[in-house]
Amino acid sequence: MFWNGIRPKKSQRLLQSVVIVIFLCATVIWLWLTSTPVSGPKSAAWTVAAHILDTLDAVVDDYVRSQSMQAGESFSGRLLEQDAAAQELLLCFSGLSQLHSRSLSHNAINTLSTVFPSNDAQIHKFSGSHVKPISCLCSSLAGKRLTMVGGEHVYRFHNVLLDHRKRFEGKRFSCLGKEFCTHHHLCLRAARNNPVFKEEPTRYIRSPSVEKLVQTGSSLVNYVLSDTLLALPDPQAPEYSVPYIHAFSRIRSRETYWLASARKADILILGRGPFSAPPLTYTGNWSFLSDISSYTGSYHAKMPSSIPNFLQIVDAAVYATLSVFLPEIQRTLDALRANGCFNRKKKVIWLVSQPQIPGYSRGQKNALLRTHLPPSGEDEPSPSNLKAVLLRHLAVLSTDERLENPWTLYYNVQVYLQYHLLRQVLPRFGVALLQLETRLVDAGSDVAEL
């Protein structure tokens, strides 16, 4: 009887102890989940970075809105027709780049987004798993002339195309380099059994005719170097034959007359990268910043010319984009329109520049980038997510007392602004944007070998 009376009491006390422990643990977990963390450098950095991005977006939107009202119908043109041929073409280019990316790294599982910007909200993303670049590329290019015009990133995409065809056609495509690139006759494998085309003559002197391209189902591809897409109507203009120093960047621009090739092309791929900082900045002279208006607000103090403030670099990138880049692009588009390049038969594509990831070229990630991860905890952002790349870069800089690499910041802000602007401007001319998530690197050196 004694044990029968004691046992319920001990069980009751044990149960009460378990309940108390569970309650205390639940309370601690609840407080940990709901409590607001103490504001530190990381949260403050992301707040500042987000504020700067919001300011940049507002500046661009206001600029486009005011220019549209002033210019009236100056940008008026046919909207991009999303026909099946255009969609298939861009899908093939996307799959081509993804295939090259996977051949470089077995761990690179990247998708690409192709933008058909008929309006700001209409963005279509395609998964590389559904793209068959081996079969669709030549069918999309059959009988067509493809011309690529632009600077470094366009040339790299040109190398990716040659590398792809080299592997699948089993032949080498000679390229003498950016400034002396000749035409390339691609997609001949499907035509080797065609009686019309019995042997492959040397293509160094004379390119195949349109009739020959159609008969053989092949394609003619050529690259033209033009750092700023300078579109002067006179092929004999001195800018095309003598060293041409850009008035704003003070850096030599390599320009080639390309309007004639653009008129003949069935598919035209254009691209222009951001401005580089003036050469004097590499000696520590950033005096050009003192004459640039502030777009990010007056809350930052002016710094000596040898120690630029990162907000001053942002202001300089905004000025370079709005006051120099966009007017020059307007002149390029006007020249294309005057030369009849905006028509139903020709497909015009703009290849979007990719940002630079600090520390990526050295094979390692910047320590600050590892420390200040995005709130979602994700790793290095995709190059196609320009906002995430710039947000992280600005967050890192807002916690650093000294700006060690202002040139990368200057470059990345321009990449972000250019994309933001061009996706609003180019659709009015019927131009599609092609944005790649994979980081384009130079194709194998054997692509350019003779």
| Long-range pairs, 15-21, Cβ under 8 A, ≥24 | none
Q: Is residue 416 over pLDDT 90?
A: yes
Q: Confidence class of residue 315 from pLDDT cuts 50, 70 and 90? A: very high
Residue-wise pLDDT for 345-364, tens only, equals 899 999 999 888 765 544 44
Q: Assess whether pLDDT exceeds 80 at residue 303.
A: no
Angle between helices 41-71 and 406-425 (to 10 degrees): 40
The encoded tokens of residue 192 equal 């080797």
- Quick count: other Cβ atoms within 10 Å of Cβ 20? 10
**Domain coordinates in residue numbering, the chain:** 1-35, 42-448
Give the pLDDT band (50/70/90) at residue 203: very low
User: Burial, 87: exposed, middle or buried (Cβ in 10 Å; 0-12, 13-18, 19+)?
Assistant: middle
Out of 91-95, 222-226, 251-255, least confident range = 91-95
Binned at pLDDT 50, 70 and 90, residue 76 comes out as very low
Read off the pLDDT of residues 19-49 as tens digits, 9 standing for 90 and up. 777 777 777 666 665 554 444 445 677 888 8
Phi, psi dihedrals of residue 149, rounded to the nearest 5°: -130, 130
- CA torsion angle 199 203 209 210 (round to 10): 90
Tell me the C-alpha distance between 154 and 440, whole Å.
10
Specify the pLDDT at position 20.
Answer: 76
Dump pLDDT digits (tens) for 211-222.
888 888 889 999
Nearest-5° angle of CA 380, CA 382, CA 383?
A: 115
H or E element at residue 219: strand 219-225
Q: What is the pLDDT of residue 302?
A: 52
Higher pLDDT, residue 153 or 139 = 153
- Residue 99 near residue 164, CB atoms below 8 Å: yes
- Percent of the chain residues past pLDDT 90, beyond the cut: 27
pLDDT at position 306 = 60
pLDDT (0 to 100) of residue 101:
57
CA distance 249 to 245: 8
Backbone φ and ψ for 107, nearest 5 degrees, come out as: -95, -5
Q: Which long-range contacts (CB under 8 A, 24 or more apart) does 47-50 make?
A: 48/394, 48/395, 48/398, 49/391, 49/392, 49/394, 49/395, 49/398, 50/391
Higher pLDDT, 429 or 365: 429
Instruction: Check pLDDT > 60 for residue 92.
Output: yes
Question: Would you say residue 325 has pLDDT above 80?
Answer: yes
Contacting residues for 397 by C-beta, under 8 A, at least 6 apart: 310, 403, 409
387-411 pLDDT, tens digit per residue, is 888 888 888 777 765 677 889 999 9
Banded pLDDT at 413 (limits 50, 70, 90): very high
Q: 349: which strand partners? A: 269, 432
How does pLDDT run across 244-283, given as a tens digit for each residue? 899 999 999 999 999 999 999 999 999 999 999 999 998 8
For residue 418, what are the contacts with CB-CB under 8 A and spacing of at least 6? 274, 321, 325, 352, 353
Average pLDDT value for the chain: 74
Sequence-separated (6 or more) residues with CB below 8 Å from residue 237: 257
**Cα(391)–Cα(52) distance, integer angstroms:** 9
Query: Can you give the pLDDT at residue 173?
Result: 80
Reading the block at residue 56, the tokens are 């940049």
Highest-confidence range of 66-75, 180-189, 196-205, 275-284, by mean pLDDT?
275-284
With 60 as the cut, is the pLDDT of residue 229 above it? yes
d(CA 176, CA 204): 11
Q: Which two tokens stand for residue 448?
A: 């350019």
Q: Is a pLDDT exceeding 80 seen at residue 59?
A: yes
Q: What is the pLDDT of residue 400?
A: 64
Those residues whose C-beta lies under 8 Å from the C-beta of residue 48, and which sit 6 or more positions away, are 394, 395, 398
Q: How confident is the model at residue 316 (pLDDT cuts 50, 70, 90)?
A: very high
pLDDT at position 272 is 96
Classified as helix, coil or strand, 89 is helix
The pLDDT-based confidence of 439 (bands split at 50, 70, 90) is low
104: which residues sit within 8 A by CB, 6+ positions away?
A: 441
pLDDT over 60 (residue 108): no
Instruction: Convert the pLDDT of each residue in 111-142 to its tens digit.
Output: 333 333 333 333 333 333 344 444 578 888 88
Strands 219-225 and 145-150: parallel
Give the residue, 317 or 39, on which the prediction is more confident: 317
pLDDT value, residue 221: 93
CB atoms closer than 10 angstroms to residue 216: 21
- Name the token pair of 231: 């579109």
Separation in Å, CA 412 to CA 20, 162, 229, 357, 444 = 55, 28, 20, 9, 26
